[in-house]
Structures are given as C-alpha cells and as structure tokens.
Structure 1
C-alpha cells in the first residue's frame, strides 16, 4: 500500500506502568474509536512495524493500550513518538456532507470569486469549530463552517470554495 492508502489515527505519547502498556493520543471522535481498529501500522523515524491491539481503555484524560508482544516498559518506550495508522479502506464511508480531515488535505482552496488561496495543508480543532490551514503565498486559517465560510467541497474537482476575503 502507498502512503495515501493509510490514514493516521493518533500517536504513541508515552508509557504506562511496567508491563508494556503505551499512552496514546487519538484523533478519532470519540477518542476511544481508535480501539475499533485492532491492527495498527506504527511509523517512526526508525521505520514501521505492525502492531496488534490486545486491549485499550480510557485512563483519566488519556488513553492506554496494550499491544501484542510489547511486554515491558523498555519495549513500550521504544514506541514513543510512533504514528498510529490503519488502512484507509478500513474506515466507514463518511455520510453525505461529511469528510475525513485527511481527505481535505491537498485540496485547492478558492474564494467564491475564483481567487486561489492555496492548498489545505492541515486542519485544527479549536473547540468552537474546525479550522482549515491553507498554505498559499502565505498561511491562512479559515473556519470550517459549512454554508457560512465553506460554500462547497468538491472532492472530484479537488477543491474547496470559501467565502473568505483574500486579504485576511
């Protein structure tokens, strides 16, 4: 599978206890949904490996996972910083009008008047609403508010049409 065939669901941020459990950060909503995918590809600077989830649970404000063949704190610590990915094909299809963030990255952003603002390079969660990070001649942060600012997402054409002043 190519890199485009995988989607990042979170990362390993630390260790938990002495029996090899890892602390994870999840991008899924709700955050525990990451445990719905039992086979992970862990990608780090040292390479990639497949990991099998034995169990996962919420632990305070974070998440803790036990992975097969990770049996002690040192093995768990070696995974710190690894990105957790799954095959994109394993995700359920989004409902009409909904998008996975990863599907929006790389789309061209144009104003309703046709002015090119750049490319979606990421999204941010602010609490009030999600925000498109658009990189063109400069970086712009555009609230992802359908109908108000985001007028159209055309996946087939590879673009997002926004009602946004290009001078902002």
Structure 2
C-alpha cells in the first residue's frame, strides 16, 4: 500500500442477501467514512460511493457502489478501505495516524532497541503495537500511555516501557 493512502475502514462481509455490507469504520465518527469517497482497495479497486443504511453491533450497514450481491460482499470480506492522505484532516502535533507508526524504531528508556513497528492491531480490547524484534521475534506491546510513554513522529522514534518478560 502507498504511504499516500490511509486505511479508514474495512469491509466486514455481507449483511443480508441484496449486496449490503457490514462496514467497520476507523473514523472518530464512524459514519464519516462515507464522506471520504472515493475509497480504494489495496489492489487499486475504486469504491465511488457509500450509503450508510444503519448500524449493527460493531459495524455499519452500507450499500457500496460496485457490490450488488451477497457473494460480492462475502468475497470482499476483510478488504481494507483506503483514502488519499491529503483528504484527511490535518492533525495537531501530538496526534498521528496509525499508519505513521509503521516502520518506526522502538527503544526502551535506556535507548536499547526493541525493534521496529510492523503493525498496529486492535482485536477489540485496545490498540497493540506489533514490533519486529532485532532477532526476528515478534513483540506485542499494549499501546497505552504506561507502556508507550513517547511517540515522536518528528524524530522518528517510539520509546516503550515493555511489561516484564515481554521482550
């Protein structure tokens, strides 16, 4: 995926049999995702319009132009939806998009390298940094103020205080 595009949601499968989809929005206000069209798939596919039909537990119900059957919706389950970074709001200096963290080095308070951020995960209980360690191991760090006290995008680094035994 290009650095010029940011993931703002993903398709979460069919809702019903007429092509409606469950849509997971990562926007602060979930329905705002419809205002960022056109959205793109990682393969370059364009989704030119989205109509929000309602909500269900944990997702929106939507009609997405180009998806007209249950089979179409199911085939696209899990596909990330991206928007051009230039269309997103400018953030204050102390805020950032998760995509800005990918590739940043992570070190402890003493300056020892823990690894490099590979992904920002969220399985429902909060964000987790997936860090590729220097020996190829994967380290999962809760993305909380206590464990990750400093994210310095300008300096290109993250300082973490990992829980005992996690590194």
Q: TM-score scaled to structure 1, two decimals?
A: 0.79
User: How many matched pairs?
Assistant: 163
Question: C-alpha displacement at 1:86, in angstroms?
Answer: 0.8
Counterpart in the other structure of 1:133: 130
The superposition leaves residues 60-116 of structure 1 with CA deviations (integer Å, 9 ceiling, x where unpaired) of: 212122123444444444433432111111111223322211111110001111100
The superposition leaves residues 5-54 of structure 1 with CA deviations (integer Å, 9 ceiling, x where unpaired) of: 111122222223343222222233343332231211123xxx43111224
Could you list the runs of 5+ residues in structure 2 that have no partner in the other structure?
none
Could you list the runs of 5+ residues in structure 1 that have no partner in the other structure?
none
Residues of 1 paired with 2:126 and 2:12: CA distance? 25
**1:15-54 mapped onto 2 (5 Å cutoff):** 15-43=14-42, 47-54=43-50
Residues 11, 78 of structure 2: 8 Å contact kept: yes
Residues of 1 paired with 2:165 and 2:56: CA distance? 43
The structure that is strand-richer by fraction is 1
Residues 110, 162 of structure 1: 8 Å contact kept: yes
The superposition leaves residues 139-167 of structure 1 with CA deviations (integer Å, 9 ceiling, x where unpaired) of: 22223233x33232221332112234785
Residues 20, 64 of structure 2: 8 Å contact kept: yes
Root mean square deviation, CA, Å: 2.6
Question: C-alpha displacement at 1:128, in angstroms?
Answer: 6.1
Q: TM-score scaled to structure 2, two decimals?
A: 0.80
> What SS does the aligned partner of 1:12 have?
strand
Residues 32, 57 of structure 1: 8 Å contact kept: no
Judged with a 3 Å threshold, the aligned counterparts in structure 2 of structure 1 residues 119 and 166 are, in CA distance, closer, same or farther, namely farther
